[in-house]
């Protein structure tokens, strides 16, 4: 072979090898999106709309260094009548009733710094998710991400026309999952080593109520699935078929008692009828209809109990956790204040009554998680007592300051704050059986309550003086 032909052959081989090398080169993650910044996504789904009928939007903050994914549900109230769905009740009503602007997650916007989970450069808290891909699901449907109904709410004063409100929360969530599994970046979600689904308040409830659909949609893409519901409990209470439509008939002229019917039942009835959440129950039951064991355990009259058990048994390799304050004055008011006029006089001892109801049902939740932990070993909880901030509502909002549990339920000293708890929750080598914490309050907290650091100072001084 002459020299010229040899040079040509070498050139061809080199070009082939170069082409092969280019084909084998790793594709840049989320090509076309801004990495480590919030990118707007408008799903191609006409049914995914906010309360006012405007298009639903969500945001992704992609990572180039980690394939782990955090799905975060935004909090922000709930609504089921004209006043609360029109925005006239402030933070106690629907969040974003007029839809979502494109710059909702612009640098420094409130939503970007409300939680250490979504604030990558949080100055105090690192939950070990900073380098993950973050998917932020905003809240604009007033239905804790579960609704499937359009309602015309009447102005009780008659001054304004009916408010047509779209409770389309579930469809909005499904539009996010469709985008993740079949959209232009589906390949970037093909393998998710760890998936964490969480949110606070209404977002905590949304994370819990949609976790079944999230895990089913993502399926085998996920190696380790983790749920953390922050302060959005769906309590395991039964609405018995024999209860009348008007539950007050069970009380007569006297105050309500838990023996008559569970405290959460009136609220659950109201929102399920307003939001059309029966369709979600039907979807779950259709999905598990061929599994006699799962179908037998599902009680349509007790969604909190049924769904918690279903998640624990269906996804036995996942880690299911709950956190809230024992003295949560905000979510508890949503559950009870508007439904027990005979019991709750807010100008007198109304909050004591509300918190009494809350703590009774909180114990039901703890007992259920203990039961499932003993059987499946995949449930846990973190229940601090009190924090002097937004009525002890939400544990992972702004920062973890004031979330320390320093006395276990038997009163012995310990030290565990929510940041440590989340680190352990993400560490699959830590058994969930070890992640069950309830704070035993001191007398000062019970009678105050007072901030933890004040209580500790007083107790140290009392100890040194021998009091």
| Angle at which helices 303-314 and 202-218 cross, to 10° | 40
Would 17 be classed as within a structural domain?
no
Residue 20 pLDDT grade (very low, low, confident, very high; cuts 50, 70, 90): very low
- The pLDDT of 186-201, averaged and rounded, is 98
Question: Would you say residue 100 lies in a domain?
Answer: yes
Tens digits of per-residue pLDDT, 347-380? 888 999 999 999 999 999 999 999 999 999 999 9
User: What predicted TM-score, i.e. pTM, was given to this entire model?
Assistant: 0.90
Give pLDDT tens digits for 319-343.
999 999 999 999 999 999 999 989 9
pLDDT(123) > 90: yes
The answer to whether residue 291 is domain-embedded is: yes
Do the domain assignments include residue 84?
yes
Q: Shortest CA distance to 359 belongs to which of 394, 392, 406, 327?
A: 327
Q: Which of 199, 186, 227 is nearest to 137 (CA)?
A: 199
- pLDDT for 408 equals 81
Q: Is residue 329 included in any domain, yes or no?
A: yes
Compute the distance between CA of residue 256 and CA of residue 371 in angstroms, rounded to an integer.
28
pLDDT of res. 449: 62
- For residues 38-66, average pLDDT: 97
Residue 24 has pLDDT above 50, yes or no: no
In a domain, 25, yes or no: no
Which residue's structure tokens are 């650091």? 453
Pick the range with the lowest mean pLDDT from 8-12, 31-35, 104-108, 196-200. Answer: 8-12
Residue 11 confidence (pLDDT): 47
Q: CA-CA distances (angstroms) from residue 155 to 52, 86, 214, 275, 411?
A: 16, 10, 37, 18, 51
| 16 domain residue, yes or no | no
User: DSSP letter at 47?
Assistant: T
Question: Average model confidence (pLDDT) for the chain?
Answer: 90
Domain count along the chain: 1
- Domain housing 430: 36-464
Whole-number Å distance between alpha carbons of 58 and 138: 6
More confident residue, 455 or 242: 242
Q: Give the model's pLDDT for residue 448.
A: 64
Buried b / exposed e along 351-360 (16+ C-beta atoms within 10 A): bebbbebbee
The per-residue pLDDT for 143 is 96
Q: Average pLDDT for residues 116-129, to the nearest whole number?
A: 94
Query: How far is 12 from 6, CA to CA, in rounded Å?
Result: 10
Among 188-202, 214-228, 329-343, the range scoring the smallest mean pLDDT is: 329-343
> Tokens representing 97?
């009733």
* Local structure of 12: helix, strand or coil: helix
Write a three-state SS string for 100-157.
CCCCCCCCCCHHHHCCCCCCCCCCCCCCCCCCCEEEEECCCCCCCCCCCEEEEECCCC
Q: What pLDDT is recorded for position 423?
A: 97
Q: If pLDDT is split at 50, 70 and 90, which confidence band does 229 have?
A: very high
Question: What pLDDT is stored for residue 89 in this prediction?
Answer: 61
Mean pLDDT of the 225-230 span: 98
CATH of the domain at 268: 3.40.50.1820
Say which residue the tokens 């409130």 belong to: 110
3-state DSSP call for residue 99? Answer: coil
Which of the pair, 286 or 15, is modelled with greater confidence? 286
**Helix (H, G, I), strand (E, B), or coil: what is residue 14?**
helix
User: Would you place residue 18 in the very low, low, confident or very high pLDDT band (cuts 50, 70, 90)?
Assistant: very low
Instruction: Quote the pLDDT of residue 450.
Output: 59
- Answer whether residue 2 is part of any domain: no
């Amino acid at each position: 072979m002459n020299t010229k032909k040899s040079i040509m052959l070498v050139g061809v081989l080199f070009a082939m090898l170069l082409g092969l090398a280019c084909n084998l080169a790793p594709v840049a993650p989320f090509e076309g999106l801004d990495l480590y910044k919030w990118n707007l996504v408008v799903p191609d789904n006409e049914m995914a709309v906010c309360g006012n009928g405007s298009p639903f939007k969500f945001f992704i903050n992609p990572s180039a260094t980690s394939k782990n994914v955090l799905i975060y549900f935004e909090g922000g109230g709930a609504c089921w009548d004209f006043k609360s769905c029109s925005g006239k009740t402030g933070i106690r009503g629907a969040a974003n009733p007029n839809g979502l602007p494109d710059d909702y997650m612009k640098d420094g916007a409130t939503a970007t710094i409300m939680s250490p989970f979504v604030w990558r450069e949080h100055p105090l808290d690192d939950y070990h998710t900073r380098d993950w891909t973050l998917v932020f699901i905003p809240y604009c449907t007033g239905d804790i991400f579960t609704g499937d109904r359009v309602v015309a709410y009447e102005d009780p004063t008659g001054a304004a026309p009916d408010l047509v409100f779209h409770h389309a929360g579930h469809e909005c969530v499904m539009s996010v999952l469709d985008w993740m599994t079949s959209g232009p970046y589906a390949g970037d979600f093909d393998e998710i080593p760890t998936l964490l689904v969480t949110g606070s308040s209404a977002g905590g409830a949304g994370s819990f109520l949609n976790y079944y659909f999230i895990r089913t949609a993502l399926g085998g893409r996920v190696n380790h699935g983790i749920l953390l519901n922050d302060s959005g409990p769906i309590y395991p209470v039964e609405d018995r078929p024999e209860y009348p439509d008007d539950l007050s008939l069970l009380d007569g002229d006297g105050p309500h008692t838990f023996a008559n019917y569970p405290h959460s039942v009136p609220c659950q009835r109201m929102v399920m009828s307003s939001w059309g959440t029966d369709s979600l129950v039907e979807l779950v039951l259709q999905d598990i209809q061929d599994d006699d064991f799962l179908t037998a355990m599902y009680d349509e009259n007790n969604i909190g109990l049924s769904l918690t058990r279903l998640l624990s048994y269906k996804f036995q390799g996942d880690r299911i956790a709950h956190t809230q304050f024992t003295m949560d004055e905000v979510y508890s008011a949503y559950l009870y204040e508007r439904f027990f006029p005979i019991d709750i006089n807010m100008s007198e001892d109304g909050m004591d009554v509300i918190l009494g109801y809350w703590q009774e049902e909180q114990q039901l939740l703890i007992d259920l998680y203990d039961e499932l932990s003993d059987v499946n070993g995949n449930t846990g909880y973190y229940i601090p007592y009190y924090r002097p901030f937004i009525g002890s509502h939400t544990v992972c909002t702004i920062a973890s300051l004031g979330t320390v549990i320093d006395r276990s339920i038997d009163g012995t000293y310990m030290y565990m704050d929510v940041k440590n708890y989340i680190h352990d929750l993400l560490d699959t080598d830590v058994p969930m059986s070890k992640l069950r914490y309830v704070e035993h309050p001191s007398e000062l907290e019970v009678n105050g309550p007072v901030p933890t650091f004040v209580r500790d100072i007083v107790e140290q001084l009392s100890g040194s003086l021998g009091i």
